[in-house]
């Protein structure tokens, strides 16, 4: 249950508990909350467990430079660490910060790894069960592994051939493609989830987890709220202290994908996210506009999506190598 917020004492007394409680009033995604807390804890430990109120901008500069010079973190990792301490000082502690002057990570541009269609289908052919269906949605709908694992029955619209991704990264919602070739398998998966729920109800464990405010309005949620990929076992919910069935863990899908990539003998640095990159590049090669791909992927900035033009070489359309020109 890695996406369920850990319980906080009421009232919170310890520093990190008070910080977490404040973050929840700001409605940060739980992954953001967890990431920020890890970096803030790292910052405090680096400075010998001193209270953050007694540290200055110079201490922040030292820590951020240490992450680059001694731990060789990437640009994006350093940026998350920076965002965490800025949140700590400006929002939680409400303290002013002077201009930061730390050693910044060097930004080298890397193109994402992608599968060819043949490679993607080969990997999928070596998978079975719910992990296969989840990976197929990552490739066929452009989902992140987190989004695939959290899908609910209500997110599937078979008539319109569309799939709704709710409360994803950055708390954004979007509508994306539902591959027609997966409809039969998805309907079977829905039937399996409902059958498993009926058995849980018979055994007295039929409660369904509904997020946020909807948990108040939906006192007895219907089967449309069931997770499409239920966990193999029931577990104690850390929020409500109720034993129920959550969704399958992302790690289960990741392990299955890693194993299939290894068995397929694909020498790329590939992972679950490679399916999402491959979804985008295949659409681009088929002539789909970059704006449409941006919406299907849920990118806030089209520049993020533009990286795929470099992967497929769209930026080189109608450009001929000088060597080839001289041979004509």
Q: Which residues are 236's β-sheet partners? A: 243
If DSSP codes are grouped into helix, strand and coil, which group holds residue 314? helix
Contacts 24+ apart (CB under 8 A), 16-19: 16/40, 16/41, 19/88, 19/92
Contacts 24+ apart (CB under 8 A), 143-149: 143/176, 143/276, 144/168, 144/169, 144/272, 144/273, 144/276, 145/250, 145/253, 145/254, 145/272, 145/273, 146/3, 146/31, 146/250, 148/229, 148/253, 149/229, 149/247, 149/248, 149/249, 149/250, 149/253
Query: How, if at all, do strands 243-244 and 174-177 pair?
Result: unpaired
Contacts of 227 (CB under 8 A, 6+ apart): 150, 151, 152, 153, 193, 245, 246, 247, 248
Exposed/middle/buried for residue 136 (C-beta within 10 Å: 0-12, 13-18, 19+): buried
Place of tokens 């350093």: 78
Instruction: Report, as residue numbers or ranges, the catalytic residues.
Output: 144, 169, 273, 276, 299, 308
Query: How, if at all, do strands 174-177 and 162-165 pair?
Result: antiparallel
């Amino acid at each position: 249950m890695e996406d369920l917020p850990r319980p906080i004492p009421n009232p919170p007394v310890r520093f990190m508990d008070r910080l977490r409680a404040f973050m929840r009033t700001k409605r940060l995604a739980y992954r953001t909350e967890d990431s920020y807390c890890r970096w803030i804890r790292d910052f405090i430990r680096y400075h010998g467990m001193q209270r953050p109120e007694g540290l200055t901008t110079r201490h922040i500069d030292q820590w951020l430079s240490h992450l680059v010079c001694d731990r060789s973190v990437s640009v994006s990792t350093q940026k998350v660490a920076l965002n965490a301490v800025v949140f700590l000082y400006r929002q939680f502690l409400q303290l002013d910060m002077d201009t930061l002057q730390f050693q910044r990570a060097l930004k080298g541009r890397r193109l994402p790894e992608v599968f060819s269609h043949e490679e993607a289908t080969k990997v999928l052919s070596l998978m079975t069960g719910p992990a296969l269906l989840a990976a197929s949605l990552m490739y066929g709908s452009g989902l992140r592994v987190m989004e695939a694992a959290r899908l609910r029955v209500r997110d599937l619209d078979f008539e319109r051939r569309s799939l709704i991704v709710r409360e994803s990264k950055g708390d954004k919602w979007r509508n994306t493609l539902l591959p027609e070739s997966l409809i039969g398998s998805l309907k079977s998966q829905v039937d399996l989830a409902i059958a498993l729920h009926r058995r849980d109800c018979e055994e007295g464990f039929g409660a369904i987890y509904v997020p946020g405010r909807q948990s108040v309005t939906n006192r007895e949620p219907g089967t449309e709220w069931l997770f499409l990929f239920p966990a193999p076992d029931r577990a104690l919910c850390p929020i409500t202290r109720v034993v129920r069935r959550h969704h399958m863990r992302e790690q289960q899908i990741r392990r299955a994908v890693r194993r299939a990539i290894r068995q397929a003998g694909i020498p790329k640095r590939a992972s679950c996210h490679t399916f999402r990159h491959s979804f985008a590049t295949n659409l681009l090669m088929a002539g789909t506009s970059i704006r449409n791909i941006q919406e299907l992927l849920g990118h806030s900035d089209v520049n993020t999506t533009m990286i795929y033009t470099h992967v497929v070489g769209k930026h080189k359309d109608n450009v001929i190598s000088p060597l080839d020109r001289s041979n004509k």
